[in-house]
Chains A and B, each alone.
Chain A
Amino acid sequence: MQGKKDFKEKLHNLLVRWKIGLFMRNAVPRSIQVTILISFTVVALVCMLGMGIALYERFLVRSERMLTESAQLTLDQTVLNLEVYLRNMRRMSDAIYYNVIKDQDMNVSSPIEQMDFLYEANKDYLTSLALYTEEGELLSASPVGVEKPGVDVTEQNWFKRALSRPENLHFSLPHVQNIFVDDPTFRYYWVISLSRAVELGGRGVPEQGVLLVDMNYAVIEQMMEGVNDNTNKSYVYLCDSLGNIIYHPMLMQIAAGLYNENSAAAASYDDGSIKEKFMGDNRIVTVKTMSYTGWKLVSVIPGSNPYYGMKDIRYFVIMVLSITLLAMLILNRMVANRVTRPITMLNNSIMEIEMGRSDPAVYIGGPSEIEHLGRTLKSSYEQIERLMKDMVESQEEKRKSELDALQSQINPHFLYNTLDSIVWMIEGEKYDDAVFMITQLASLFRVSLSGGKTIIPIEDEIRHAGNYMNIQKVRFKDAFTVTFDIDERIKNLCTVKLIVQPILENAVYYGVKDMEDGEISVRGFLGDDGDVYIRVSDNGFGMSGEETALLLTDNSRVRKKGSGVGLINVQRRIQLRFGQQYGLVIESEPDEGTSVTIHLPAIECNEENRKMLESGRESESEG
């Protein structure tokens, strides 16, 4: 059961494979030229793709490295500029504190003049300078000294941070300055507040205060805008150590919810470059931490950056690939054409032969193998042509021989003589003889016709010979005797019709006609080799060896007597039907007599064999 199932599965698999194979064979052109063309092109394409991918990867890595290095250089430079700016701000804060505030008696004088002086000297970088007591009371400010009503600086982050960690200087996030009145200009300034706790002198007991330096945020913005002024989509932003954005070229979009930045993650990165995926975009992020503030300058090269994505390189690779493939296709076609041309020419020759064109020119040329094929084809073709010609000739000969034999059946002279004899018998009132003659003649013609058959049983052929001899005996007034000794076993075997009668005719006319005691014997028997032999012997005049030889070779001899159907005709008809090994054997001795032996194969005369022999297949197969 299991075996049967396995067999079925195997059969099914084979069937599927065969169907796929059939489909592929139909789908893909199968000529040698296309095979060579496709093979060459595929090999070249694979090599090119391999090389292309390797080169592309190499370019990509190199490009990434260049971009990263460039980003790091930019960051280094920007950090340097920013640090210089921030250091200057710190120094100014130091200068105000150590040179002005610390030594100043606040009860006696205000540091306003010095602060105004410093503000004027640095007003491009500053928005305001202010000194507060620990309680948030404004001691001195430059350039504007009027606080907005209701402002409580002690609630502001920069103030709280300064007092919470008095040992440090503190940089705030960018914010709108909201301490001083600036009417009626309706202007608000974005600042970064640099605050520190200071010791106020001259007020009895040492007292703490807060010194505020509001740095102009526009300075940082200008610096960063300069860095971000490029045509590609990479950008640099600044955030603090917690990821709060200080500057971003798309800060407004971020505030409006149009864009997001991965600043919290960037703040956690160490200095250097890292690849990250943010909102579906693969990008290279380079981080540089600034000293003192801990701010992080972050360069972002998005995947859409034309240099990073190397879009142009991709186009270029596709272009080169297309050109090369096109060139390869043309070149490979030429090569394939050149290689397959002799085969194609030979194929064309075969196609000409197939189409039956007369005298086709078979191509002989190209490489030695093809040349050999051409020569072989040509010789085969010529051989086939020759065989065909022989076959046609043989068929023509067969037709002619049988026509001759047919003619012999209605030999007018024979018929006239026979009919004359019958008339003579009737006139002599020998009615029984006349009836016998007519009966024999009718039988003779019936066998001759045989319903148009060429192959008949030996029995019929012997009957025909008997009829003929009976007629001849009457005509020649029993000048000779005839004996028939036919083996019963051969009577139902096949023979070509009308082959015994011409031999008997010859025996009568050239052998015993003019003799007084002429004897003709017809003996049919199976030979030792199993073949059929029918021997016609007479005791006539015989002939010489030369004459005997000519009987079966000299077709030009003109017969003077009889039906005119020679032994050559009999020989040919036998050989055309049964093969060259069969035919006649003539033995003769002058004054001794002649013996003609018909050699036939032993083939039972049934309908199948008869049809086979009629169509000539026996002789072909024998041949």
Chain B
Amino acid sequence: MKGRNLFIMIVSALLIVMLTASTSALILSGIAENPTRVCVVVEDSGSGRWTSFTAGLEQAAKDMGVKLTVLPTTRNQTLSQQYAQMNEAISDGADGIILQACGSSKTENMISDISSKAVLVLIDGEVDTDVDVEGKSACIEPDNLEIGRALANEVRTALGNDLTGYSIGIVAGNQRRSSNIQRLNGFMENIESSGAEILWMDNSRINTVDKIRTAQTERTADILVALDNDGLESVCEYVLQDELSPYIFGEGTSIKNVSYIDDGLINSMVVPNEYYMGYQSIAAIAERMDNRLTPMQNEMISYRIVNRDNLFDESNQRVLFPVVE
């Protein structure tokens, strides 16, 4: 009698569980889930260099039902300002943060704190972190060392392997950021044996055009190399203003730089696939939100080298001109 009742009770319990689960699923399928909220903290968020990246973010947010907020920021931010912005965003309900840190060192506490409160994705440059065995944050970026090397290779391809007699001015950008440090290291590594002379190097973050002009006035370099998008724009603006014609190489993503290639101003430009970087940043956060137990993993994104000859190649058009007007 006891066994019989137990049998029926077990079957009934199973049926009740099935009923509850299916009813809940039916009800929940009709209710829109609270979307994951992601805040993006990047330096100078209004810059055209983020166009491709933002397009990737927005597409991913649309595909994955993520509510996206790109916080308005200026060019010359500090780590503490970024920290404050992220904390504010988290207190406003952000589940995930996408951060382009303006410095790479002494960031352990900030990263540790933020990644314990929200899912953190770092873009465009690694930072100092404590040991993250749980994989609470991840870095999505191009191989910056390789970008540096590729730039050097482009210079040598354009002007010959032996660059003896050529002088180079480097606009190295924010050298507190690991991405730029690595690009510089990569560039120096591959240009060293060419015989070219490095005349000057500029690390300024503001008034870069003036700084370039000053450096060029003092010692005029034949080749100008910029390691980031803003630096490359500054170099082009300087050249346009002063009506000069040095060789220009650099890393960039903005339509302005693309236009400079089209105008023949820039000889060659390395373009990271920032659309992919934006898309994957959101995807990584959404995946982590879905499964908290899966550790996040770093990801390298690809880059391509663009010059005037291949600017309008079919394969380059979608990457370089993402926004259809």
Query: What residues make up the interface of A, taking CB atoms closer than 8 Å to B?
Result: 29, 31, 33-34, 37, 148-150, 173, 175-176, 178, 183, 186-190, 217-218, 221, 250-253, 255-258, 306, 311-312, 315-316, 318-319, 321-323, 325-326, 329, 333
Contact = CB atoms under 8 A, between A and B. Distances in A.
B8 interface: yes
B15 A325 contact: yes
Interface of B: 1, 3-4, 7-8, 11-12, 15-16, 18-19, 21-23, 25-26, 29-30, 48, 55-56, 59, 63, 255-256, 258-259, 262-264, 273, 275-276, 279, 311-312, 314-315, 317-319, 321-322, 324-325
**Main secondary structure on B side of the interface with A:** helix
B8 A333 contact: yes
A255 B324 CA distance: 14
Contacts of A253: 59, 63, 279
Contacts of A148: 262
Contacts of B258: 188
Contact of B56 (A34, A190, A252, A323): A252
A188 B325 contact: yes
B244 to A, nearest CB: 18
A312 B26 contact: yes
Contacts of A188: 255, 258-259, 321, 325
Contact of B4 (A33, A183, A257): A33
A293 to B, nearest CB: 19
A319 B26 contact: yes
A255 B56 CA distance: 11
Contact of A322 (B19, B48, B311, B312): B19
Contacts of A29: 3-4, 7
A601 B56 CA distance: 116
A31 to B, nearest CB: 6
A610 B262 CA distance: 131
B15 A175 contact: no
A37 B321 contact: no
Nearest to A318: B22
Contacts of B56: 252, 256
A256 B273 contact: yes
Contacts of B23: 315, 319
B259 A316 contact: no
A252 B259 contact: no
Given A34-B4, A252-B55, A256-B276, A190 B325 contact: yes
A326 B279 contact: no
Contacts of A315: 22-23, 25-26, 29
B321 A176 contact: yes
A256 B325 contact: no
Given A148-B262, A318-B22, A329 B324 contact: no
A175 B19 contact: no
27 contacts: A29-B3, A29-B4, A31-B4, A175-B312, A175-B314, A176-B317, A178-B262, A187-B255, A187-B325, A190-B321, A217-B324, A250-B59, A250-B63, A253-B59, A255-B315, A255-B318, A256-B318, A256-B319, A306-B29, A312-B30, A315-B23, A318-B22, A322-B15, A322-B16, A322-B18, A326-B16, A329-B11
A319 B317 contact: no
Contacts of A183: 259, 263
A341 B259 CA distance: 92
B264 to A, nearest CB: 7
Contacts of A250: 59, 63
A252 B59 contact: yes
Contact of A326 (B15, B255, B256, B264): B15
A312 B256 CA distance: 49
Nearest to B29: A312
